[in-house]
Structures are given as structure tokens and as C-alpha cells.
Amino acid sequence: MTAQDGAKDRGSSALEAERKAERLTFSGPAQWMIVVFTLAAIGVAINQLFNLRLGGYSLLEGMYLYVLAGLFLSLTFITFRAYGPPSSHVPWYDWLLSAATIVIIGFFVVTAGASLDGGWEYAAPEKAIWASIALYLLILEGTRRAGGLVLFFIVLVFSLYPTFAEHVPDPLNGFTQPFTDVIPYFMISSEASFGIPMRAFGNLVIGFILFGAVLQFTGGGKFFNNLAMALVGGYRGGAAKVSIFASGFMGSMSGSVISNVLTTGAVSIPAMKKTGFSPRYAAATEACASTGGVLMPPIMGATAFVIASWLSRPYVEIMLAAAIPSILYFFGLFVQVDAYSARRGLTGLPKVDRPAVLNTLREGWLYIAVFALLIFLMVAFRWEKTAPFYAVTLLLVVNQFNKNDRVSWQGFLNIIASVGRTLSELVAVLLGIGMIVGAFQATGLTGPLANELVHMAGDSLTMLLIMGAVTSFIFGMGMTVTACYIFLAVVLAPALVQAGLNELAVHLFILYWGMVSFITPPVALGAFAAASMAGANAFQTGFEAMKLGGVIYVIPFFFVLNPALIGQGPLIEVAVVLACALIGVWFISAALQGYVSFVGPLNSSPMTAVMRLVLFVAGLLIAAPIGGIAGLSHFMLTLVGFAIAIPPLAIAWRDGQGVR
């Protein structure tokens, strides 16, 4: 078997596992446990975040996080099997593990006050040590089931790292501590499993995951797909453009690239193939759109909330900063699809297959109103923690007046069960990677490691960024997006910030490069999953996705070198660099596809390759919001870019005769 066949098989296996997981429906005691525990967790979160003090009592933050962890980690053993394919049958030993989780975390809930007063994280009594070890083993198993073997081994090695840190060569040399001191620190301190990742979960993530699920189950996904189809479906390449918009909205809500491919791809890929797109191109388009959805405000999956907690900044600030890079990514994807369609003479969807814009808006105005309410509450009142609960309430109330998509009792149970499975998976992963954070805190390694990375880069900012991009890409292949981000926020981000880069831009940089692996071989799970659905070659789809999503490889370098591209700067500077970036992305996309949208083709001249390369370089010079290359300022580089773009644009105009 070739490496390509092996990669395709791995992609197909991952896709099949995801498909089975998506179709899983639990019944009997398992279903009721998922529903009851999820409702209990949501109730506890509402009581805590709204400070309702039901029963005249408010939980300590540590106690609150323990309660959420106990409820959802116990569900991990109900929803994920120890081995084999996904199954709704829960073996007896998984019930036992679930019960053990509740009992052990119950101990930490009951003793949370005494633990805080007595400093147990540094001097735990014997009973707390044994309870910590038991919880440590349960978290490892939960991480293995929810996050896979790669993440499990990474967490295992780093969780044990403090016990042999002094024997590791520089730059990873640190303080060694006994196993019986390290594990209680992980379980009790606010710097490890119950640190920033779980605080972000308890304060922000849980509400937005609930909002995304309710939005989809009440018809939000169908509305945004219909809206995209009504708005752009009739233009050339309309099916692919619908996929871009619909998958972007769905990905932002779900936060999962693979799940997004499976849901929207089931509709968009056949539609693209039917209107003339090759299977490979259709699959690549869906993979790129689904990947970009996780980076698109206002929800951005779960990772953006972790960034907000990590930087102690309002989530709105993270959302607004991510808006410009997201616009550039989707603009590049949109322009490439348009150029591909124009070059091949592909038409849009026939009118009979497209809903009317006014009818679509009339039927689904509620969803736009809900998004408007959500954003208004976050921006105007800074209610990031509570805004999604208000939006969910509005959705459920008004939904009952919608005869077509009214949520039934069974539908409500399905919503809660879906939320429970999603949150149990996320909690298991967050508890595991929290121990990675704790390991670096316990050994005091974070600061020295940042210094070593800067030293290894030879004081070269370019080399440090390249090292950071490669590291993010490698870890992104074996971890979930959130896990990858948290690991790199500990290991890599301090070095980049120490080099003088904007802190928020650095954290978005590692988030973007952690996402790259979903469309980049040899892993490219997003592209491989879409390829399996389209009946296309996996590796060819991966390389096509790399070209289509090419903007994702360069934009992070642009905004980390000039934070104006994430809105960090004077308004006039932000406007200028955004305008230049849009034009540059347009030229780069045209060079990649061999067609300049609204101008003409670049593939009919003997100098085709040269002209495409010239236009690509021109796009980079115009889009890059930096100066200093060859001693030229940003303004001068932009002028050079426009100057060298004139010949290829003139050839494209001549050959296209101005055809739009």
C-alpha cells in the first residue's frame, strides 16, 4: 500500500467514525442520564453566571468547575467507547467508570472550601492524594476516548514530565517533583486541569455551544443555507458560493471542521458536482469553507473563548480582531471559486432550484434578529457570559410560533443530548490539556523556554515566526484545535510576545496555523473527509484545498507583523491596510487560478506562467502591511506591487475583452 493510499484510508476511517458518531442515538437509561446531567449542568451554569443564588447559596469558582467536570466527564464514559467503532450500547464497565467519576469529583466538590483554606494544591492530605490519582487516571482515559491516542500520549508524557524534568536537557530542563505532589497540584490548583481552559468553558463556552445547537435544531442551519442560495446561488459557480457561505455559518456555530463537512457537505458537494465542478474541486471547496467557519465570528467554535480567558480580555475584542482575517480568508476563497467558474464557463443554479430572497428573509428573520440580539448584548453591555442564554430563550420561545420548524418534546431531548455529547467531549479534552499547562507551571519552565526559543531563532523575527508556524502546524495534526492552541499558548506564545509582537495577534497567529493541518496533507482530515463524500482522490483533494485556502498560509504573517489587520491601530491605518489586503488577495487568488475575476483569463498567453507568478508577487507586495523589504516603505512596496501588476492585468483584459 502506498503512503497516499494509507492516508486516504486514514481519512476514510476518520470520516466513517464521525458519520457513525453523528448518527448515534442513545435510548433508555443512557439517554436520560445524558439529558438530566446536561440540564443539571446548564442549570448550575445559569445559577452561577447570572448570580441567582438559588437556595441562598453561590458556588465557589473551584466548586463550580468541579461540578461541571463531574457531570460532563462522567458522560464521556457513556457517550464514547473504550475501543472499537462508536456505539450507543454502554458496557457495564463504562457505567462503573461514570459512577466512579461522580463519586471522586464529588469528594473534591465537598472539600473545595477546606482545600482552598488549607492550600491542598501544595500540601494535600493523604485522602486527597489518592482521590487526585484516581481522577488523574479517569481524565487520561476520558482524553484518550474523546481526543484520540495522539493527544492521550502527549498529555501523558507532559503530565509526568515534572517527575523527571531535571534529567531533561536544555531548553526543557526544569524542577523535579514527586509524583504524589504533582498529581494533586494538577487536580486542585487553579493553574492546571481546573485553570484557564476549564474557566473559559464554565464562563463562556457552555452558553455558546448551547446557542449553536439550539440554532441548528430550530432551523437556523437550513435558513442560512437557503439565504446563501438565494443571494449567490444564481451567479456563476453558485453552488460552490452557497457552500462557502453556508459552511462558514455552520462552522462558526459547530466549531468542528469534520462535523461541518459531514452536515453541509452532504448537500453542497452533490450540488457542486451537478453544476459542473469536478469532484476534487467540490470536496476542496467544502473543506476550505468548513475550516474557515471555525475562524469566523461571532462564535468561532470554542477556542476564541479560551483566548479571551487566557488574555483576560472581553470576548468581543477577540471577535472583532478575528473579523478582518476571516473576511480576507473567505474573500480569497470566494474569488478563487469565481475565477475557476469563469475559466470553465460554469453557470449558477437554475431559478427553480433557488429560494426567493424575500421569502427566505420573511420565513427566517428570527435568526437574523437573534444574532443581532446576541451581538448587541455582547458589544453594548459586555454580557459575554450571559448573552447566549438570552438568545437561546428568544429562539425557543419564538420557535413555538413557527409551524414548520417547531421543536417538539423529542426534538428538545435531541437538542439537549447533542449538547451533552459535545460538551462531554470538550471537557474531557480540556481537563487533559490543562495538565500540560500545569506541568509547565509546576516546573517553572515557561519563561526560560521562551528565552531559549528566541535564542535559537538567532534574534531573527522571521525565523521565529517560521518556527512558530511549523510547530503550530505539526501539533495541529495530532490535536483538536482547542488543545493545540492551549499547548502553544504555553510553549510558543511567550517567545513571540517577548520578541516584541502584539499579544493578541500572536494568539490568533497560532490559532490560524493550528487550523492549517485540516486542509494540508499528509493529514488534511477536513479535505480527506470531503474527498470521501465526493468520490475524489484524497491527496489530490488535499493539494487542491491548499491552493483554494492559500490565504490562510500568508494572512497570519501579515497581521502578526502589522496588528492593524486585526483592528489594532488608528482607523485610517486599519482601512488602508484592509483595502490593500483585499486587492492583494484578489491578485493572489487570480494567479493561483489563472483567471482575474471581472477582467479576463491569464492562461492563453505563451507567458502564462510568468504572468501568473508576477501577479502573485504583486499581490503579496500589495497585501503585506509591512515595509523594510529592500529598504522600501510600506507605501513604496504597495506602489511597486501595483506597477508590476499592470502587465498581467492588461493581458487578462485583452484576452477577456472586458468580459465580466
pLDDT digit string, tens, across residues 54-71: 777 778 888 999 999 999
The letter for the amino acid at 267 is V
Query: H or E segment at 242?
Result: helix 238-254
Q: Which three cell numbers stand for residue 575?
A: 482601512
Query: H or E segment at 601?
Result: strand 600-601
Cβ atoms within 10 Å of 607's Cβ, excluding its own: 13
Q: What is the pLDDT of residue 265?
A: 79
Q: Which three cell numbers stand for residue 467?
A: 518556527
The letter for the amino acid at 512 is Y
Helix 446-456 to helix 481-491 angle, to the nearest 10 degrees? 80
* Measured distance CA(504)–CA(568) in Å, rounded: 9
Between residues 601 and 22, the one the model is more confident about: 601
Whole-prediction pTM: 0.78
Helix 571-593 to helix 315-344 angle, to the nearest 10 degrees? 30
- Contact call for residues 92 and 100 (beta carbons, < 8 A): no
- pLDDT > 70: percent of the chain: 89
pLDDT of residue 322 exceeding 70, the answer is yes
Nearest CA among 202, 63, 192, 69 for reference residue 121: 192
Q: In the predicted model, what is the mean pLDDT of residues 123-133?
A: 91
- Contact call for residues 99 and 111 (beta carbons, < 8 A): no
Handedness of CA 89, 93, 98, 102 (dihedral sign): positive
pLDDT of residue 23 exceeding 60, the answer is no
* Measured distance CA(584)–CA(590) in Å, rounded: 10
Q: In the predicted model, what is the mean pLDDT of residues 325-339?
A: 92
The letter for the amino acid at 559 is F
Residue 600 backbone phi and psi in degrees, to 5: 160, 180
* Measured distance CA(403)–CA(363) in Å, rounded: 11
pLDDT of residue 24 exceeding 80, the answer is no
Between residues 293 and 331, the one the model is more confident about: 331
Report DSSP letters for 365-390, one per residue: HHHHHHHHHHHHHHHHS--TTTHHHH
* Measured distance CA(193)–CA(204) in Å, rounded: 17
Q: What is the pLDDT of residue 447?
A: 62
Q: How confident is the model at residue 45 (pLDDT cuts 50, 70, 90)?
A: very high
Q: What is the pLDDT of residue 92?
A: 92
Handedness of CA 487, 492, 498, 504 (dihedral sign): negative
Q: What is the pLDDT of residue 617?
A: 93
* Measured distance CA(331)–CA(620) in Å, rounded: 15
Q: What is the pLDDT of residue 410?
A: 81
- Contact call for residues 252 and 299 (beta carbons, < 8 A): yes
How does the average pLDDT of the chain come out, rounded?
83
Q: What is the pLDDT of residue 15?
A: 46
The three-state secondary structure class of 342 is: helix
Q: How confident is the model at residue 508 (pLDDT cuts 50, 70, 90)?
A: very high
pLDDT of residue 660 exceeding 60, the answer is no
Furthest-apart CA atoms within the chain: distance in Å: 82
